[in-house]
């Protein structure tokens, strides 16, 4: 690659992998780097160590260094929600509490009632209020509360800013002002007024920006955090950081009204850009925004591929017993495709993939579980189909609220994430599960890292008055190849039969959680 070519760097810190993507001015990927990492369950908390953040970012940039070119803008994205609280000297006051934790039920319920607005357990304000309810000593010393993407952006630029989509997973957004809802901020401050904290909530939250605005600059210190070799120079533009939901919308061109996308990896979530407000509050539905601030109904489920991945790893170990070691991608490909040969309902078996709690179905803890009846057809094909169906089942429960109770119409869903890496399989089953056509773009495997690279390009290249929707439609996706699969009626009927077993099986999951956890 010619070193003079302009590029845009997108980095996303996902649940199991930190990924960096370098794109050119034609929005094609010219280089990619990755770093595998895993959350840790420490002291009953799902967390990541911040040292691992910087080790991963350095590893990614090292892989890209030869292709940097002239970087026009950098974008940072990460898992939304969670709790990162710092004091006035930037010391982390307590371990990073991620979106995966289901420990804020009391706070979420009380805030939802106070705001008349659904506050999920994952949201930053729920974690903050739960810490207050718990009487945690560190709360009085908070000077800055942010997300993972906001933290990285701050360390790179010195700027305490955040994109509006990521911000909408911290605290409710007022789409008319483009900032945090002032009335709800005041209600929160009133709730905690008797605690005597030296801060108001607005004082400790980041500044909110829509896509394309609020661009910062990479500092000398920030450049060294990414690349100690000195190949990255200070002064490079850095667009507002975004959450993985927002970058998923961008990566699938699902930012306009009547569009939607589904992202499936460690967690699974669907994002539907609304034409009209929902008729009522649903605790299963999050109200967030696009990166430009449009209201979005989000169905978020904590569990998707973790249990599935564990089974595939076990199958890989089984083959090694016989002296073979299949390529990881080939193993996934072969086992996923086996699912297409199974019975339409998966053979009458039950799998619950809850490695952690799941708010949609009321579980504060999880226990991965598989069960079958004596007359179940226990074949490899049916087993794989059951595991894949299980990864989509909780999403189906949430989506039914939108499609059946709120009559939200969907022409298709754009899909991305690791679940869709094997062509056709998960795409076909997801279409059956949700009874809507599912489309996958060529860029699907790049996911949110490519999405945040596009937001960086938009910040650097947009012309006056050019909206993100127009930029994506006209410049990026106009020639994109899309593969669409319509739902098959027999697959729909098979998934419906599986769901009957699944709903009943959740009582078995409840017994497992109540009786096996904490043993």
What are the structural domains, with CATH classification, of the chain?
Answer: 81-146+171-204 (3.30.420.40), 306-406+486-516 (no CATH)
- The H or E element containing residue 381 is helix 380-400
Q: How far are the Cα atoms of 81, 135, 212, 372 from residue 165, in angstroms, in the given order?
A: 11, 30, 13, 42
pLDDT digits (tens, 9 = 90+) for 383-404: 999 999 999 999 999 999 999 9
Phi and psi, residue 154, nearest 5°: -65, -45
The pLDDT value given to residue 448 = 86
**In the chain, which residues have pLDDT < 70?**
1-5, 443-446, 518-519
User: 343 with 386: CB under 8 angstroms?
Assistant: no
Candidates 389, 305, 300; CA nearest to 79 is 300
Judged on CB neighbours under 10 Å (0-12, 13-18, 19+), 272 is: buried
How far does Cα 307 stand from its chain's mean position? 17
The pLDDT value given to residue 4 = 41
Q: What are the residues facing 451 on neighbouring strands? A: none
pLDDT digits (tens, 9 = 90+) for 221-237: 999 999 999 989 999 99
The pLDDT value given to residue 3 = 40
Report the Cα–Cα distance between both ends of the chain, in Å, rounded.
57
How far does Cα 306 stand from its chain's mean position? 14
The label of the residue with tokens 């799941």 reads 358
- C-alpha 460/C-alpha 349 separation (Å) is 52
The pLDDT value given to residue 2 = 36
Phi and psi, residue 222, nearest 5°: -65, -40
What is the chain's percent helix, strand, coil content, to nearest 5?
Answer: 40, 20, 35
Q: What are the tokens at 447?
A: 């996911």
Q: What are the tokens at 37?
A: 């990492």
* pTM recorded for the entire structure: 0.79
Burial 359-383 (b: 16+ CB within 10 A, else e): bbbebbbbbbbbebeeebbebebbb
The pLDDT value given to residue 278 = 87
* CB-CB neighbours of 174 under 10 Å: 15
The pLDDT value given to residue 46 = 92
Sequence-separated (6 or more) residues with CB below 8 Å from residue 268: 262, 300, 301, 303, 304, 391, 392, 394, 395, 417, 419
The Cβ-side half-sphere exposure at 7, using a 13 Å CA radius, reads 26
How far does Cα 226 stand from its chain's mean position? 23
């Amino acid at each position: 690659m010619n070193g003079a070519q302009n590029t845009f760097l997108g980095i996303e810190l996902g649940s199991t992998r930190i990924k960096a993507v370098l794109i050119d001015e034609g929005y094609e990927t010219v280089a990619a780097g990755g770093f595998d990492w895993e959350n840790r369950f420490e002291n009953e908390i799902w967390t990541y160590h911040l040292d691992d953040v910087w080790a991963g970012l350095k590893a990614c940039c090292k892989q890209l260094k030869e292709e940097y070119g002239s970087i026009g803008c950098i974008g940072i994205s990460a898992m939304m929600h969670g709790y990162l609280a710092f004091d006035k000297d930037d010391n982390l006051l307590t371990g990073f509490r991620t979106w995966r934790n289901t420990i804020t039920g009391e706070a979420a319920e009380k805030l939802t009632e106070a705001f008349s607005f659904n506050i999920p357990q994952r949201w930053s304000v729920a974690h903050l209020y739960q810490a207050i309810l718990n009487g945690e000593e560190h709360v009085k010393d908070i000077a800055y509360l942010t997300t993972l993407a906001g933290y990285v952006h701050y360390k790179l630029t010195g700027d305490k800013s955040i994109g509006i989509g990521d911000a909408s997973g911290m605290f409710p957004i007022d789409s008319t002002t483009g900032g945090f809802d002032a009335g709800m901020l005041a209600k929160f401050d009133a709730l905690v007024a008797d605690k005597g904290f030296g801060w108001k909530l607005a004082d400790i939250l980041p500044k909110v920006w829509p896509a394309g605005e609020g661009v910062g600059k990479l500092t000398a210190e920030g450049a060294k955090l990414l690349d100690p070799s000195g190949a990255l120079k200070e002064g490079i533009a850095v667009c507002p950081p975004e959450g993985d939901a927002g970058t998923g919308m961008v990566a699938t061109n699902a930012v306009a009204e009547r569009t939607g996308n589904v992202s499936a990896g460690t967690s699974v979530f669907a994002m539907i850009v609304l034409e009209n407000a929902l008729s009522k509050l649903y605790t299963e539905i999050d109200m967030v925004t696009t990166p430009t601030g449009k209201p979005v109904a989000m169905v978020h489920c904590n569990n998707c591929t973790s249990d599935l991945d564990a089974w595939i790893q076990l199958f890989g170990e089984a083959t090694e017993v016989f002296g073979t070691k299949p390529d990881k991608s080939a193993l996934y490909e072969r086992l996923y495709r086996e699912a297409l040969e199974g019975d339409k309902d998966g053979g009458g078996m039950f799998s619950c993939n809850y490695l952690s709690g799941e708010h949609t179905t009321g579980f504060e803890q999880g226990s991965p579980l598989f069960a079958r009846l004596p007359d179940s057809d226990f074949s490899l094909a049916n087993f794989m189909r059951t595991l894949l169906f299980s990864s989509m089942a909780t999403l189906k429960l949430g989506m039914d609220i939108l499609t059946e109770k709120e009559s939200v119409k969907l022409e298709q869903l754009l899909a991305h994430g690791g679940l869709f890496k094997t062509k056709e399989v998960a795409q076909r089953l997801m279409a059956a599960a949700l009874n809507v056509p599912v489309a996958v773009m060529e860029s699907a495997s790049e996911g949110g890292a490519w999405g945040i690279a596009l937001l960086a390009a938009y910040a650097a290249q947009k012309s006056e008055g050019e909206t993100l929707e127009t930029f994506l439609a006209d410049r990026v996706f106009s020639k994109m190849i899309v593969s669409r699969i319509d739902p098959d009626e027999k697959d729909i009927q098979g998934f419906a039969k599986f769901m009957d077993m699944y709903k009943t099986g959740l009582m078995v999951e409840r017994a497992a959680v109540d009786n096996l956890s904490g043993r």
